[in-house]
């Protein structure tokens, strides 16, 4: 079941890339979907990762690891974009992979001993996040005259890498103590929150203006509803 969930979430990258290349994706639609996914993922990170971890560890250490995860993500994101830029193939692959690692690490860790609805809420949020991100990224790459085959290989390879990251993390961490696992969950949650602030919400506002605020609230409502189940 763990492997199926991870593969389904990562498949959204390839599905999104196909949509971006061959489908009709307007900037407003992309921005709206990205904002919905961002709102849902923010709530899931808090309710499915941080809140349960505070109960297993301590509030001080949990919040320290949230901040640590956010700080490390910001530093890595800065240096990757400064070194490679956003136009080269290496830069694109590095940025895409870095954005996806916290989410997939969070998913892999959250699946350890999680109840089905909690896993469904988080995986659904990540699926919603991956789909428009891949669609928009693939569309931008196609507009830069990168071949469709190269685009699909890039996104397919990224999906494989992130699936492996989530699965290996899930297997390696399945036997660690609850306290350590709680700290890792908070670290991943912090990185996810930083990626939303740096990548997701600015992109949503740029493409869909003030409608992105409504879309974000809609994502929050959907995630809260799933969590209530």
Query: DSSP per residue over 147-210, as a string?
Result: -HHHHHHHHHHHHHHHHHHHHHHHHHTTTS-HHHHHHHHHHHHHHHHHHIIIIIHHHHHHHHTT
Domain of 71, in residue numbers:
35-228
Residue 1 in any domain: the answer is no
221 pLDDT more than 80: yes
Residue 8 in any domain: the answer is no
Q: Contacts by 95-101 with C-beta closer than 8 Å and gap 24+?
A: 96/137, 96/154, 96/155, 96/158, 97/158, 97/161, 97/162, 98/73, 99/133, 99/195, 99/199, 100/13, 100/130, 100/158, 100/162, 100/165, 101/162, 101/165, 101/191
pLDDT range class, residue 32, cuts 50, 70, 90: very high
State the pLDDT at residue 229. Answer: 72
Count of structural domains within the chain: 1
Residue 82 in any domain: the answer is yes
Residue 80 in any domain: the answer is yes
CB 165 within 8 A of CB 103: no
Residue 3 in any domain: the answer is no
Residue 169 in any domain: the answer is yes
- Between CA 40 and CA 139, with CA 37 as vertex, the angle to 5 degrees is 170
Task: Give the pLDDT mean for 169-198.
Answer: 87
Residue 154 in any domain: the answer is yes
218 pLDDT more than 90: yes
Which of 33-47, 104-118, 126-140: highest mean pLDDT?
33-47
State the pLDDT at residue 44. Answer: 84
| pTM to 2 decimal places | 0.82
pLDDT (tens digit, 9 = 90+) per residue, 81-101? 776 665 555 555 666 677 777
Residues 6+ apart with CB under 8 A from 165: 100, 101, 104, 105, 108
Least confident of 13-17, 55-59, 103-107: 103-107
Q: How far apart are CA 208 and CA 200, in angstroms?
A: 12
Residue 23 in any domain: the answer is no
CB 141 within 8 A of CB 92: yes
């Amino acid at each position: 079941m763990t492997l199926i969930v991870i593969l389904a979430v990562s498949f959204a990258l390839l599905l999104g890339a196909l949509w971006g290349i061959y489908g009709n994706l307007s900037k407003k639609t992309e921005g709206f979907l990205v904002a919905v996914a961002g709102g849902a993922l923010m709530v899931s990170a808090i309710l499915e990762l941080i809140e349960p971890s505070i109960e297993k560890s301590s509030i001080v250490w949990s919040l320290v690891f949230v901040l640590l995860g956010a700080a490390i993500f910001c530093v890595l994101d800065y240096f990757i974009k400064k070194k490679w830029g956003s136009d080269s193939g290496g830069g694109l692959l590095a940025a895409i992979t870095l954005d996806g690692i916290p989410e997939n690490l969070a998913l892999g860790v959250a699946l350890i001993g999680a109840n089905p609805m909690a896993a469904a809420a988080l995986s659904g949020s990540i699926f919603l996040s991956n789909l428009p991100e891949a669609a928009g990224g693939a569309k931008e790459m196609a507009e830069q005259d990168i071949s469709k085959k190269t685009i699909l290989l890039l996104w397919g390879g990224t999906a494989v890498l992130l699936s492996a990251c989530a699965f290996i993390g899930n297997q390696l961490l399945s036997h660690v103590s609850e306290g350590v696992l709680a700290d890792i969950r908070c670290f991943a949650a912090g990185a996810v929150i930083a990626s939303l602030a740096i990548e997701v919400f600015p992109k949503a506002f740029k493409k869909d203006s003030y409608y992105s605020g409504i879309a974000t609230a809609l994502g929050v409502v959907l995630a809260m509803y799933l969590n209530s189940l």
